[in-house]
Chains A and B, each alone.
Chain A
């Protein structure tokens, strides 16, 4: 692994195609592992047979009972798919924020998106469903947009040359403000502490395919827009003046990217809660392995982000099975030390 990483940093372009193949294989393997592992004790043979049986033109008897089939198709697989969508979205959004603000630490947490969404979701939870069935996702989305908008407006108003730095600093202030409001609301409605707490720790849904379908359109739009702008992100990386001279309006591109990343983040955060470190760890790992070009970075982050969250969820489900560890705990425990390693290596490379 270490040798591979060193070689990859030394020669990113040559490794691009094999890299994509490898990343796709990792994502697929993670998804397959996600389908095979779980506390219900389905046999691997049965699960594989069910999956093959689902292919067109093939019919295999898996030997799974109807209950086991329901567990596989309605609980475990939607969870794997949702995990993949959440991971892909958070990682590509992280890459977009980092590129747009030219700040390697920018991620949904630092820009007020997650705390805004957190406040919105908390309001939805304490309102106890009195605002309708979609109150929590909608309020989380509204809060996320409000958070990043406040960050953007505050950061830009003091912007000037240090725009990117000012925006991140504004994000810290906005996040602190929203977190304080959220604590206040939580304290006022301590009945709902457990629900809010559970949301804060992150969890992949138990609601079958409905949550997958709920976030899918936002995820497609968000990831799609970011993918289409991967060349623009490379141009932004050179500098605003240079970007303008190349015919790109940096302010407009930045706004489009931030809106797209926020849309995706708020959508997945509203169903999965706060799953931290994905947006910052995965893009950094990809940069380390395959170089900093966004043409490679964005699609790689998408694939490996999906794999990272699916694998973290396997750990969350297995560590204390049949009890469950909140997935946000797993991503933080795995992500934080990894993040430090990446930071050290980046410094060594610089």
Chain B
């Protein structure tokens, strides 16, 4: 499975670098570095892009540079703007809120309404899921749909940025975004002290749903050497298990990261007040912080911010030695 991904990522990277070279050549004869929107014959189109989940990829063809994109995924929206395709986007779903000023609508990515989406006359739709036969419905109308489901690791997230770049005519920028994101994450990790062996609990809900190491969220923590207390519970393949309160308390994590402050109004002081949690190391040593839920739940370029947040936390709380 990872072989396929590696092969595909490799192919995409190769294509990216080739096209980047073309871009350089264009720039040489005085035209703008970025393809302008009136450039109707972008040589890179038609383009074939991988769509779907790692291990179950299909291919979609985008015939010409899309000029009215509809994004039904907040992560895809962030990727679109990051690669410079923002001015090709006509509508984004009700959950997309970054960057500021995106053309937000009442469209829902969870319950997509094909007719409402077609009302925006899209030439490319990007979605995280295919609920309600979205893809088939749009295909009937001749609109290609790029599926970018929740990434299970950072490599997949990077591959998705490249796919967004390829589908929108921004291959070179996408490669650059990926490089910058990778570098940003690496720098955040390098700036932090070695905290190997310290443990954490990433709280997704007050009912103690959490993310295991097998998710891109867990991968970011793992880069710092942090150990996930949920991994004992993820052995049955449930990457987002619900933990018993008594297990969390007995595991006594060094850090508790709250990804449920906005949704569910959970703050560090609430955790300290939970029955039986008062004696936790994380409570006594200030190892509980609130995360920006959007930044941590989206696998786009802002994963750098997520890594920087963790870097700051562990720097503050590294064991003195």
- Seen from chain A, the residues whose Cβ lies within 8 Å of a Cβ on chain B are 38-41, 66-68, 70-71, 73-76, 78, 128-129, 187, 190-195, 198, 203, 206-210, 317, 320-324, 326
Contact mask B23-58 → A, CB, 8 Å, 1/0?
Answer: 000000000000000000000000000000000000
How many Å lie between the Cα of A41 and that of B246 in the bound state? 9
A–B complex contacts, Cβ < 8 Å, 16 sampled: A41-B250, A70-B249, A70-B275, A71-B246, A78-B275, A206-B275, A208-B276, A210-B275, A320-B236, A320-B241, A322-B244, A323-B238, A323-B243, A324-B208, A324-B241, A324-B244
**Contact residue among B208, B242, B279 (Cβ-Cβ distance under 8 Å from A66):** B279
Within 8 A of A (CB), among B261-294: 263-265, 274-279
Tally B residues with Cβ within 8 Å of A.
35
Return chain A residues, CB-CB under 8 Å to B206. 195, 206
- Is B63 close to A, CB under 8 A? no
Contact status B275-A317, CB under 8 Å: no
Contact mask B224-249 → A, CB, 8 Å, 1/0?
Answer: 00000000111010100111111101
How many Å lie between the Cα of A198 and that of B251 in the bound state? 23
With A187-B110, A187-B111, A195-B264 known as contacts, the answer to whether A38 contacts B246 (CB < 8 A) is yes
Measured CB to CB, the closest approach of chain A to B68, in angstroms, equals 25
Return chain B residues, CB-CB under 8 Å to A198. 205, 207, 209, 242
Contact status B264-A40, CB under 8 Å: no
- Is B252 close to A, CB under 8 A? yes
How many Å lie between the Cα of A68 and that of B246 in the bound state? 9
Contact status B276-A70, CB under 8 Å: yes
Measured CB to CB, the closest approach of chain A to B52, in angstroms, equals 22
- Is B161 close to A, CB under 8 A? no
How many Å lie between the Cα of A321 and that of B248 in the bound state? 12
Return chain A residues, CB-CB under 8 Å to B245. 75, 206
How many Å lie between the Cα of A208 and that of B274 in the bound state? 7
Q: For the complex, would chain B's binding face be called helix, strand, loop or mixed by DSSP majority?
A: loop
Return chain B residues, CB-CB under 8 Å to A128. 263-265
**Contact residue among B205, B250, B277 (Cβ-Cβ distance under 8 Å from A68):** B250
Contact status A324-B246, CB under 8 Å: no
How many Å lie between the Cα of A264 and that of B106 in the bound state? 40
Measured CB to CB, the closest approach of chain A to B119, in angstroms, equals 19
**Contact residue among B209, B238, B277, B279 (Cβ-Cβ distance under 8 Å from A320):** B238
Of all chain B residues, which has the CB nearest A318? B244
Contact status A203-B246, CB under 8 Å: no
Of all chain A residues, which has the CB nearest B275? A208
How many Å lie between the Cα of A70 and that of B277 in the bound state? 8
Return chain A residues, CB-CB under 8 Å to B91. none
With A40-B249, A40-B250, A75-B249 known as contacts, the answer to whether A323 contacts B111 (CB < 8 A) is no
Return chain A residues, CB-CB under 8 Å to B243. 322-324
- Is B152 close to A, CB under 8 A? no
Return chain A residues, CB-CB under 8 Å to B265. 128-129
Measured CB to CB, the closest approach of chain B to A249, in angstroms, equals 45
- Is B9 close to A, CB under 8 A? no
Measured CB to CB, the closest approach of chain A to B279, in angstroms, equals 5
Choose among B233, B238, B246, B264 the residue with the greatest number of A CB atoms under 10 Å from its CB: B246
- Is B215 close to A, CB under 8 A? no
How many Å lie between the Cα of A327 and that of B250 in the bound state? 21
Return chain B residues, CB-CB under 8 Å to A191. 95, 263
**Contact residue among B108, B264, B276 (Cβ-Cβ distance under 8 Å from A75):** B276
- Is B79 close to A, CB under 8 A? no
Of all chain B residues, which has the CB nearest A129? B265
Of all chain B residues, which has the CB nearest A209? B275
